[in-house]
Amino acid sequence: MYALRISGSNDYVRKIYKNDTSCYPTGRVDVVIGINHPNTKKYPTQLGAERAARLVEKLEGFHCTIENVE
C-alpha cells in the first residue's frame, strides 16, 4: 500500500476532488495530519499512487512524496 505525503510537511492526502466546481480552477485536495490517521488515502499499487500524485500537483501545485505503508 502507498500513501501520498505533501512534501515538506506531515500532511497526507485524504481525498482528491477533481471535479469540485466550488474552486477555481476546478478541483481540490483534502489532507489529514499524520500517516496513522484513519482517513489517510492508501493506494494498492505504486502506479495508482503515481497517477494520484500527478493529479495533486496539477490541482494544487503540491509536490507529493509516495510512501510505502503497511
Of 23-27, 38-42, 58-62, 65-69, the range with the lowest mean pLDDT is 23-27
| CA separation for the pair 68, 70 (Å, rounded) | 7
Distance CA(31)–CA(1), nearest Å, equals 18
Give per-residue pLDDT as tens, 3-31: 999 988 999 999 999 877 776 677 889 99
pLDDT of 23: 67
Give the pLDDT mean for 49-54. Answer: 95
pTM: 0.85
